[in-house]
């Protein structure tokens, strides 16, 4: 175990973090911006957004649905409630109508036989594309046409942004990140304070704003305003590895409420601040914190020219997996049976399957796969911002029962997650259901099992070129 | 002009023209739209090509969904294959195709043709029964029912004509050909186009996911 393990902890437990967030989320609803445009303009903007975002890909998917019903049974929200309005295929109905009227090859005909879209219909859509779709993509795995409903839902979210119809909690955080550059008030000062606290109390150094570094590491608001253990764990691992790393005060936030809400202007503003900082310091690797949607916001975003960026973007679990595979993580064994929950955004929709498993293997874990695991994993029900929506509490709670059943079937005592949203949702579900499992974050688990030896001092590693394994 | 002459002549010919022109129009109208490129770096350089496998692999559901999809997969397979065999396998159809294209091949014995036609019809009934009894799963719309009726009609009228049921043979045959004409006309405007879209739709998703190193 590392030296800092002996220091008395000062940060709250994750259960306390979770309770604290519940209070903060409650306040968001009062902070949500009110609509400013007329109804007609809001509808028009939603339609224009969909017209602009509909390419051949979206059109083919909208054209292909045969109403075979397979996606319905694959969706956790339908499975949990049995309510037909949550069927994935129905989420596309309004999009298809707009497409048929405005873009499709028979638009002159559909303009005659279909009704124009009304604001009320867009208002009703809110529940379908925010509350009851975590864009997890499980429906795509069963669709005989292979329709990627999650992508279409994302376009619908963008349309609702244009129509000023983002749910209150997401709207408040989107506005905060857009205008102040913070989430839950997590500013550069918050980051500096957290870094100072970690240094003063634990003696763990976090390099900030180094003019150049090989590895640039991101954090997230959850870690900065509540869960100090997350950033502490990250720092201990980076120092253990002896990598040349830094955090940047002008690009540290993984969470991107532009992507979550569908506000792609904010998405760009947020992601560009990170890629610009990474280029400035000459980073070779950008490590994204355990914040699921940050992976598609940065690594997989089709609008970021990844090929021409001089650095790799990796998710925390991927980075740890690479280090574990390279034998660079010196870890004590872990007790008890363990399973791993693939977050939708890094698993099925991200492809980072093997790396987190390699980390657990490096701890000699008694590892057991979830039934319906990997590509077929059930979403925990809290992704894509749903954890923040009070209105979606019933949907979340009901669908989490699927997760409980799935984890219980493994007989594991601990379920490891690698996404702050999943973890908050798991923790809330654990407490609510008096569930006897332990929920652990991969990065904190690794930090708790580090064996710090002199060989891992920074000087010894500085001769190793790069960590971009 | 008798009803049969009308069916065999202008009706079926115009239906075929609408079928072909409509299908081309719908395909071009969609495929000519711009394609949004994915600028992110693929997980492995040539991995994207693996995505095309989805066009074939999705012909059968993954074992993960075996239980949920078993009924529909089996019955839908029966329906599609039985219908295809009847369309290209019985004497009357081969003669019609020969009159249009000149191509010809040996036909199935009549009894076999009838048996397979019945399999197609029964499987189609089994599919609509499931759709009707599970409304929350299928979310059916008017188009689903019109399509079912227009696909069932040629099967029913064809079997009736073959078995000399209903009105006199010539009339029944005319009704059968007219029902086929209706289905041809409906094809380009309906979900029957899935017989073409599936290739594009599966390929797109296969590529999107293969880009990230995920086999769907």
Q: What is the pLDDT of residues B82-95, one digit of tens each?
A: 999 999 999 999 99
Q: Answer yes or no: is B150 within a domain.
A: yes
Residue A469: the pLDDT is 38
What are the residues whose beta carbons fall under 8 Å from the beta carbon of A241, sequence distance 6 or more? A323, A328, A329, A456, A461, A467
- Average pLDDT estimate for A77-85: 95
CA–CA gap between residue A116 and residue A140 (Å, rounded)? 29
- Average pLDDT estimate for A7-32: 90
Q: Give the alpha-carbon dihedral of A344, A347, A421, A404, to 10 degrees.
A: 70
Per-residue pLDDT band at A346 (split at 50, 70, 90): very high
Q: Taking CB atoms and an 8 Å cutoff, what residues of chain A touch B34? A: 55-56
Q: Answer yes or no: is B139 within a domain.
A: yes
CA–CA gap between residue B83 and residue A412 (Å, rounded)? 50
Which two structure tokens, joined as six digits, stand for A218? 């991101």
Nearest by CB to B204, which of A60, A84, A103?
Answer: A60
Residue A454: the pLDDT is 53
Q: Answer yes or no: is A465 within a domain.
A: no
Domain count, chain B: 1
Verdict on whether the full-model pTM lies above 0.90: yes
pLDDT at A425 over 70: yes
Phi, psi of B74 (to 5 degrees): -65, -45
Q: Answer yes or no: is B143 within a domain.
A: yes
DSSP state of A415: E
Domain at B138, CATH number: 1.20.950.20
Hey, is the C-beta of A140 within 8 angstroms of any chain B C-beta?
Answer: yes
- Average pLDDT estimate for B115-135: 97
Domain at A105, CATH number: 1.10.1060
- Let me know whether A317 and A186 are in one domain: yes
A2 vs A85, A320, A324, CA distance in Å?
Answer: 52, 17, 17
Residue A370: the pLDDT is 97
- Let me know whether A287 and A353 are in one domain: no
Residue B48: the pLDDT is 86
pLDDT at A41 over 70: yes
What are the residues whose beta carbons fall under 8 Å from the beta carbon of A43, sequence distance 6 or more? A117, A118, A119, A122, A163
CA–CA gap between residue A186 and residue B82 (Å, rounded)? 63
Q: Answer yes or no: is A456 within a domain.
A: no
Taking CB atoms and an 8 Å limit, are A90 and B43 in contact across chains?
no
- Let me know whether A200 and A293 are in one domain: yes
Taking CB atoms and an 8 Å limit, are A61 and B41 in contact across chains?
no
Among B23, B31, B34, B36, pick the best mutation site for testing chain A contact (most A Cβ within 10 A): B36
The answer to whether A369 and A337 are in contact (CB under 8 A) is no
Residue B37: the pLDDT is 84
CA–CA gap between residue A404 and residue A402 (Å, rounded)? 5
Q: Taking CB atoms and an 8 Å cutoff, what residues of chain A touch B205? A: 61, 140, 143, 146-148
Domain at A422, CATH number: 3.40.50
CA–CA gap between residue B216 and residue B213 (Å, rounded)? 10
Q: Which domain holds residue B104?
A: 3-31+64-193
CA distance B184 to chain A (A): 17
pLDDT at A464 over 50: no
Q: What confidence tens digit (pLDDT) does each residue in A221-235 have?
A: 999 999 999 999 999
CA distance B50 to chain A (A): 14
Q: Taking CB atoms and an 8 Å cutoff, what residues of chain B touch A56? A: 30-35
- Let me know whether A226 and A354 are in one domain: no
Q: Answer yes or no: is A345 within a domain.
A: yes
Q: Where are the beta strands (DSSP E) in A150-264?
A: 215-217, 245-246
pLDDT at A460 over 60: no
Q: Taking CB atoms and an 8 Å cutoff, what residues of chain B touch A371? A: none
pLDDT at A385 over 60: yes
Per-residue pLDDT band at A23 (split at 50, 70, 90): confident
Last residue of a domain, one of A279, A294, A323: A323
CA–CA gap between residue A257 and residue A170 (Å, rounded)? 7
CA–CA gap between residue A167 and residue A3 (Å, rounded)? 45
Q: Which domain holds residue A283?
A: 3-24+181-323
Residue A2: the pLDDT is 46
Per-residue pLDDT band at A32 (split at 50, 70, 90): confident
CA distance A23 to chain B (A): 36
CA distance B122 to chain A (A): 18
Q: Answer yes or no: is B114 within a domain.
A: yes
What are the residues whose beta carbons fall under 8 Å from the beta carbon of B63, sequence distance 6 or more? none
- Let me know whether A284 and A353 are in one domain: no
The answer to whether A341 and A380 are in contact (CB under 8 A) is yes
Q: What is the largest CA-CA distance in chain B?
A: 67
Per-residue pLDDT band at A456 (split at 50, 70, 90): very low
State which H helix or E strand residue B64 sits in: none
Among B48, B80, B139, pick the best mutation site for testing chain A contact (most A Cβ within 10 A): B139
Q: Taking CB atoms and an 8 Å cutoff, what residues of chain B touch A66? A: 191, 194
Stronger pLDDT, A65 or A31, i.e. the higher one: A65
pLDDT at B110 over 50: yes
CA–CA gap between residue B132 and residue B135 (Å, rounded)? 6
B180 vs A325, A435, B23, B85, B169, CA distance in Å?
Answer: 62, 60, 16, 16, 17
Q: Answer yes or no: is B42 within a domain.
A: no
Q: Taking CB atoms and an 8 Å cutoff, what residues of chain B touch A402? A: none
- Let me know whether A159 and A185 are in one domain: no
Q: What confidence tens digit (pLDDT) does each residue in A232-283 have?
A: 999 999 999 999 999 999 999 999 999 999 999 999 999 999 999 999 999 9
Taking CB atoms and an 8 Å limit, are A103 and B26 in contact across chains?
no
Which two structure tokens, joined as six digits, stand for A209? 């704003």
Per-residue pLDDT band at B207 (split at 50, 70, 90): very high
Q: Answer yes or no: is A206 within a domain.
A: yes
Residue window 267-326, chain A: list those with CB within 8 Å of chain B: 299-307, 309
| Cα–chain center distance at A454 | 36
CA–CA gap between residue A317 and residue A220 (Å, rounded)? 15
Single out the residue of A221, A222, A226, A176 nearest to residue A197, CA to CA: A226
Q: Answer yes or no: is A174 within a domain.
A: no
Hey, is the C-beta of A51 within 8 angstroms of any chain B C-beta?
Answer: no
Chain A: residue whose CA lies nearest to B189: A106
- Let me know whether A247 and A303 are in one domain: yes
Among B208, B210, B211, pick the best mutation site for testing chain A contact (most A Cβ within 10 A): B208
Q: Give the alpha-carbon dihedral of A447, A452, A458, A464, to 10 degrees.
A: -90
Domain count, chain A: 3
* Average pLDDT score, chain A: 93
pLDDT at A174 over 90: yes
Q: Answer yes or no: is A33 within a domain.
A: no
Q: Answer yes or no: is B92 within a domain.
A: yes
Residue window 335-354, chain A: list those with CB within 8 Å of chain B: 348-351
State which H helix or E strand residue A234 sits in: helix A228-241
- Let me know whether A155 and A260 are in one domain: no
Q: Answer yes or no: is A458 within a domain.
A: no
Among B27, B33, B124, pick the best mutation site for testing chain A contact (most A Cβ within 10 A): B33
CA distance A180 to chain B (A): 28
Residue A6: the pLDDT is 67
Among left, alpha and beta (phi > 0; psi -120 to 50; other), residue A332 is: beta
| DSSP characters over A335-368 | -SEEEEPPPTTTTTTT---HHHHHHHHHTT-EE-
- Let me know whether A116 and A7 are in one domain: no
Q: What confidence tens digit (pLDDT) does each residue in B10-28 have?
A: 999 999 999 999 999 999 9
Per-residue pLDDT band at B113 (split at 50, 70, 90): very high
Q: Taking CB atoms and an 8 Å cutoff, what residues of chain B touch A61? A: 201, 204-205
- Let me know whether A96 and A222 are in one domain: no
CA–CA gap between residue A2 and residue A4 (Å, rounded)? 6
Q: Taking CB atoms and an 8 Å cutoff, what residues of chain B touch A105? A: 25-26, 28-30
Q: Taking CB atoms and an 8 Å cutoff, what residues of chain B touch A299? A: 40
Q: Answer yes or no: is B89 within a domain.
A: yes
- Let me know whether A315 and A342 are in one domain: no
Hey, is the C-beta of A52 within 8 angstroms of any chain B C-beta?
Answer: no
Which two structure tokens, joined as six digits, stand for A51? 């017209």
Q: What confidence tens digit (pLDDT) does each residue in B58-81 have?
A: 999 999 999 889 999 999 999 999
Q: Answer yes or no: is B134 within a domain.
A: yes
Residue A463: the pLDDT is 40
Domain at A315, CATH number: 1.20.1050
Taking CB atoms and an 8 Å limit, are B64 and A84 in contact across chains?
no
- Let me know whether A352 and A315 are in one domain: no
């Amino acid at each position: 175990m590392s030296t800092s393990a002996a220091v008395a902890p000062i940060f709250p437990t994750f259960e306390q973090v979770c309770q604290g967030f519940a209070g903060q989320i409650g306040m968001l609803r009062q902070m949500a911006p009110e609509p400013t445009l007329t109804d007609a303009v809001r509808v028009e903007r939603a339609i224009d957004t969909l017209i602009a975002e509909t390419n051949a890909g979206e059109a083919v998917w909208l054209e292909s649905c045969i109403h075979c019903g397979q996606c319905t049974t694959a969706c956790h929200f339908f499975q949990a409630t049995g309510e037909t309005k949550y069927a994935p295929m129905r989420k596309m109905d309004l999009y298809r109508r707009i497409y048929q009227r405005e873009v499709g090859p028979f638009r002159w005909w559909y303009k005659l036989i279909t009704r124009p879209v009304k604001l009320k219909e867009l208002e009703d859509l809110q529940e379908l594309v925010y509350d009851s779709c975590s864009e997890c993509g499980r429906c795509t795995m069963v669709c005989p046409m292979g329709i990627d409903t999650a992508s279409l839902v994302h376009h619908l979210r963008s349309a609702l942004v244009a129509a000023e119809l983002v749910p209150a909690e997401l709207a408040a955080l989107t506005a905060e990140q857009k205008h102040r550059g913070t989430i839950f008030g997590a500013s550069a000062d918050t980051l500096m304070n957290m870094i100072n606290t970690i240094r003063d109390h634990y003696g763990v150094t976090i390099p900030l704003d180094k003019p150049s570094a090989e590895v640039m590491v991101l954090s997230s608001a959850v870690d900065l305003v509540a869960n100090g253990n997350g950033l502490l764990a990250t720092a201990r691992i980076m120092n253990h590895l002896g990598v040349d790393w830094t955090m940047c005060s002008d690009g540290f936030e993984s969470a991107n409420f532009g992507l979550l809400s569908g506000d792609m202007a904010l998405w760009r503003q947020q992601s560009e601040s990170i890629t610009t900082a990474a280029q400035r310091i000459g980073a070779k690797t950008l490590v994204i914190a355990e914040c699921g949607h940050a992976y598609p916001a940065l690594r997989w975003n089709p609008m970021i020219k990844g090929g021409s960026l001089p650095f790799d973007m990796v998710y925390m679990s991927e980075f740890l997996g690479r280090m574990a595979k390279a034998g660079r993580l010196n870890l004590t064994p872990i007790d008890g049976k363990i399973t791993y929950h693939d977050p939708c955004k890094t698993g099925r929709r991200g492809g980072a399957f093997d790396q987190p498993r390699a980390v657990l293997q490096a701890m000699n874990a008694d590892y057991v796969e979830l039934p319906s695991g990997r590509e077929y994993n059930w979403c925990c029900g809290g992704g894509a911002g749903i954890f923040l929506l009070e209105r979606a509490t019933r949907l979340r709670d009901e669908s989490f029962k699927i997760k409980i059943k799935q984890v219980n079937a493994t007989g594991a005592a601990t379920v490891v997650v690698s996404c702050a949203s999943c973890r908050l949702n798991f923790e809330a579900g654990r407490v609510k259901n008096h569930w006897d499992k332990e929920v652990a974050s991969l990065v904190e688990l690794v930090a708790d099992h580090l064996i710090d030896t002199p060989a891992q001092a920074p000087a010894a590693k500085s001769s190793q070129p790069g960590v971009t394994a | 002009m008798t009803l049969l002459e009308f069916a065999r002549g202008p009706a079926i010919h115009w239906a075929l023209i609408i079928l072909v022109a409509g299908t081309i129009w719908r395909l071009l109208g969609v495929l000519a739209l711009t394609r949004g490129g994915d600028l992110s770096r693929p997980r492995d350089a040539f991995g994207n090509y693996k995505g095309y496998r989805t066009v074939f692999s999705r012909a059968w559901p993954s074992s993960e969904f075996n239980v949920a999809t078993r009924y529909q997969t089996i019955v839908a397979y029966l329906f599609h294959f039985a219908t295809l065999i009847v369309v290209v396998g019985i004497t009357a159809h081969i003669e019609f195709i020969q009159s249009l294209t000149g191509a010809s091949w040996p036909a199935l014995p009549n009894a076999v043709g009838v048996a397979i036609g019945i399999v197609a019809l029964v499987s189609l009934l089994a599919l609509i029964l499931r759709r009707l009894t599970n409304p929350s799963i299928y979310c059916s719309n008017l188009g689903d029912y019109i399509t079912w009726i227009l696909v069932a009609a040629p099967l029913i009228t064809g079997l009736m004509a073959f078995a000399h049921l209903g009105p006199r043979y010539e009339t029944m045959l005319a009704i059968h050909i007219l029902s086929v004409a209706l289905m041809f006309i409906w094809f380009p405007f309906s979900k029957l186009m899935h017989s073409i879209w599936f290739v594009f739709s599966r390929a797109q998703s296969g590529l999107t996911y293969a880009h990230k190193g995920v086999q769907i």
